């Protein structure tokens, strides 16, 4: 015997907040979904500084739902949850060989008063003009949207080295996906 349950919306039992909707095509929307990506719009050359100049890709190939907010290179979360955060940085030592440069992925749990290093990524090449790529992934349990912040800070960048960015395509990018409720 087959049972069929037909619903278009599921709500929580206490406050009647919509948790899930199903449209006539069968597509499911979960209200707590978060997916987002940000790219660096231009080359960034300052050492020991928060990387600024981010935008959401606006070329139609990317989508975001309930994403992050960004101000002066500091990202804030719009929903609590367990997040998978991927970063890919592209860089180039344009005028001098820089054998080791990179960025720290830093997290604050006190609204930005202090930050801890959650991830570290390095690359480099002694050849002038060499293109470099580096990446890292962290999982972050965001339990309070008012206090958790995220930023990338450059480290060990010699004069003439850059973290590469472009407003027309992804070069340096942060990608965020909420995978579960806060733990």
**Residue 59 — φ and ψ, nearest 5°?**
-100, 10
Query: How is residue 11 written in tokens?
Result: 């709500």
Q: Is pLDDT at 148 greater than 90 in this prediction?
A: yes
Number of CB atoms found within 10 A of residue 83's CB: 23
Strand partners for 135: 88
What is the reported pLDDT for 5?
85
| Residues 6+ positions from 61 with CB-CB distance below 8 Å | none
| Residues 6+ positions from 123 with CB-CB distance below 8 Å | 89, 91, 100, 101, 102, 132, 133, 134
What is the reported pLDDT for 13?
86
Across residues 54-61, what is the average pLDDT? 86
Across residues 148-170, what is the average pLDDT? 94
Cα 152 to Cα 120: distance, rounded to the nearest angstrom: 10
Residue-wise pLDDT tens digits, 72-121: 999 999 999 999 999 999 998 877 777 788 999 999 999 999 999 999 99
Across residues 138-150, what is the average pLDDT? 98
pLDDT band at 51 (very low <50, low <70, confident <90, very high): very high
| Residues 6+ positions from 51 with CB-CB distance below 8 Å | 40, 44, 73, 103, 151, 152, 153, 154, 163, 172
Give the CA-trace dihedral at 175, 178, 179, 183, to 10 degrees. 130
Query: How is residue 27 written in tokens?
Result: 């597509």
pLDDT band at 39 (very low <50, low <70, confident <90, very high): very high
CATH pick for 33-180 out of 3.40.50.720, 1.10.10.10, 2.60.120.40, 3.40.50.10470: 2.60.120.40
What is the reported pLDDT for 112?
98
What is the reported pLDDT for 165?
97
The full length of the chain comes to 183
Give the percent of the chain with pLDDT over 90.
61
What is the reported pLDDT for 78?
95
């Amino acid at each position: 015997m087959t049972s069929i349950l037909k619903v278009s919306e599921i709500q929580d039992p206490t406050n009647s907040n919509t948790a899930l909707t199903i449209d006539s095509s069968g597509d499911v929307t979960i209200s707590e979904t978060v997916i987002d990506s940000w790219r660096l719009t231009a080359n960034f050359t300052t050492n020991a500084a928060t990387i600024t100049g981010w935008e959401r890709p606006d070329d139609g190939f990317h989508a975001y739902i309930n994403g992050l907010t960004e101000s002066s290179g500091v990202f804030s979360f719009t929903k609590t949850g367990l997040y998978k955060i991927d970063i890919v940085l592209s860089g180039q030592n344009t005028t001098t060989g820089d054998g080791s440069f990179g960025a720290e992925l830093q997290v604050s749990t006190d609204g930005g008063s202090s930050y801890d290093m959650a991830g570290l990524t390095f690359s480099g090449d002694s050849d002038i003009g060499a293109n470099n790529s580096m990446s890292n992934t962290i999982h972050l349990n965001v339990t309070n949207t008012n206090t958790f912040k995220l930023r990338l800070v450059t480290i060990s960048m010699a004069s003439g080295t850059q973290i590469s960015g472009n407003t027309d395509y992804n070069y340096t990018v942060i990608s965020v996906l909420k995978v579960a409720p806060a733990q």
